[in-house]
């Protein structure tokens, strides 16, 4: 059961409707779960209501009829695509993003995020918007080299890389360039919008690192997103190919990643942690406008350092009756350091404790993977 929050400390009262995109995804479905557990209603945007009907059935069985409403937005990049469907909602959490492919998907992701902000600007009832960004929007992993990430750190390496990408680039090389650039470009565009436009809402970005944990509805979601990496470490299938493009880096329990979105949405006094528009702090360095500016308010979801070998070692300890792949050659530990203590304080507020532990996260995830097809994995 979700802890009772002090009403005086909550910006959006229970019972309000929150608009969430990407509700059928790994993080999005957990966000819905945590909002419903706290007495909120959710209006979720999906590309196809028919194909996502399982989600309504799952949550109505758990929380009751009418708690989750799905609306269909087939193309998130169409102008004004969100304007009608957000009417009557109190806040937005935007987790959906085009899948990275060619560099042409980068402006599509930016357009999708700006469509959300424009819809929020046109809807007086909306007081907060939360964007799901990515750790890769701030930086690539930095194996063996110390690197400090902060409120204005962006993955300029990826942005430069994608500008000079040979047309023949494909596969993992293409993903490594495009996805981080897509996330960095989208987030930057949102902060620029917030600096240039007089909005009636607050804006926060959550930067999840690699998300691990149990999948919420495995028969329909399968080994979603980065859970496929954990499955590779479990079985050994495709492990070496993955490890060649996925260096050691930070990870976060998926429920904690979702809860950071919820905390950013609900906590009334975020100012001590993240400066508000009334702060005297300078605007983001990439914003050139002289309009009123909102210093970045970014929440880094960095809980545990991850490597494939550390994951395999935990599998061996937690599931001693099963054989696992041998250790592989990997790069050194990720040297990136982010302001993760601020994020953990938000977790303590919203759930009463800090990061979920590594072993518990791996055990829950491994158990689900081990049950395999019986759970849709």
Task: For 108-138, write each residue's pLDDT tens digit.
Answer: 999 999 999 999 999 999 999 999 999 999 9
Q: If you average pLDDT over residues 223-250, what whole number do you get?
A: 95
Q: If you average pLDDT over residues 48-74, what whole number do you get?
A: 98
Bridge pairing between strands 147-148 and 210-212 = unpaired
Task: For 100-109, write each residue's pLDDT tens digit.
Answer: 678 999 999 9
Percent of all residues in the chain with a pLDDT value above 70, rounded to a whole number: 92
Dist CA 370 CA 377 (whole Å): 8
Task: For 180-219, write each residue's pLDDT tens digit.
Answer: 999 999 999 999 999 999 899 999 999 999 999 999 999 9
Strands (E), 100-152: 128-132, 147-148
Nearest Cα residue to 342 out of 149, 134, 90, 126: 149
Mean of the per-residue pLDDT values of the chain: 91
Q: What is the pLDDT of residue 99?
A: 73
Element (H, E) at 25: none
Element (H, E) at 374: none
Dist CA 266 CA 76 (whole Å): 25
User: Residue 312 is encoded by which pair of tokens?
Assistant: 């395999």
Phi, psi of 46 (to 5 degrees): -135, 165
Q: What is the pTM of this model?
A: 0.93
Q: What is the pLDDT of residue 271?
A: 45
* Position 278 pLDDT exceeds 50: no
- Neighbouring C-beta atoms of residue 135, cutoff 10 Å: 26
């Amino acid at each position: 059961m979700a802890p009772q929050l002090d009403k005086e400390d909550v910006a959006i009262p229970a019972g309000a409707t929150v608009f969430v995109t990407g509700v059928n995804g790994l993080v999005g479905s957990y966000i819905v779960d945590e909002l419903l557990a706290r007495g909120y209603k959710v209006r979720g945007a999906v590309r196809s209501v028919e194909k996502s009907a399982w989600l309504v059935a799952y949550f109505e069985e758990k929380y009751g009829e009418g708690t989750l409403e799905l609306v269909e937005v087939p193309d998130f990049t169409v102008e004004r695509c969100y304007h009608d469907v957000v009417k009557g909602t109190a806040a937005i959490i935007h987790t959906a993003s085009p899948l990275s492919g060619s560099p042409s998907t980068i402006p599509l992701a930016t357009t999708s995020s700006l469509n959300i902000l424009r819809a929020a600007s046109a809807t007086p009832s909306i007081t907060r918007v939360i964007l799901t960004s990515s750790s890769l929007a701030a930086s690539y992993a930095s194996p063996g080299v110390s690197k400090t990430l902060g409120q204005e750190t962006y993955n300029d390496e990826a942005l430069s890389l994608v500008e000079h990408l040979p047309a023949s680039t494909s596969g993992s090389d293409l993903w490594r360039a495009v996805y981080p650039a897509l996330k960095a470009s989208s987030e930057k565009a949102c902060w620029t919008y917030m600096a240039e436009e007089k909005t009636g809402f607050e804006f926060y970005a959550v930067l999840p690192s690699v998300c691990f944990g149990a999948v919420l509805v495995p028969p329909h979601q399968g080994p979603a997103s980065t859970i496929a990496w954990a499955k590779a470490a479990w079985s050994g299938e495709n492990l070496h190919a993955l490890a060649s493009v996925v260096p050691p880096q930070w990870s976060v329990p998926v429920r904690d990643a979702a809860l950071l979105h919820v905390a950013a949405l609900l906590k009334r006094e975020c100012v001590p942690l993240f400066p508000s528009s009334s702060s005297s702090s300078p605007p983001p360095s990439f914003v050139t406008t002289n309009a009123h500016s909102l210093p970045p308010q970014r929440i880094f979801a960095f809980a545990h350092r991850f490597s494939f070998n550390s994951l395999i070692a935990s599998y061996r300890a937690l599931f001693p009756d099963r054989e696992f792949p041998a250790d592989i050659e990997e790069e050194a530990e990720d040297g990136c350091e982010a302001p993760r203590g601020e994020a953990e304080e938000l977790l303590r507020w919203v759930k009463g404790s800090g990061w979920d532990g590594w072993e518990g996260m791996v055990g829950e995830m491994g158990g689900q993977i081990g049950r395999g097809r019986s759970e849709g994995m």
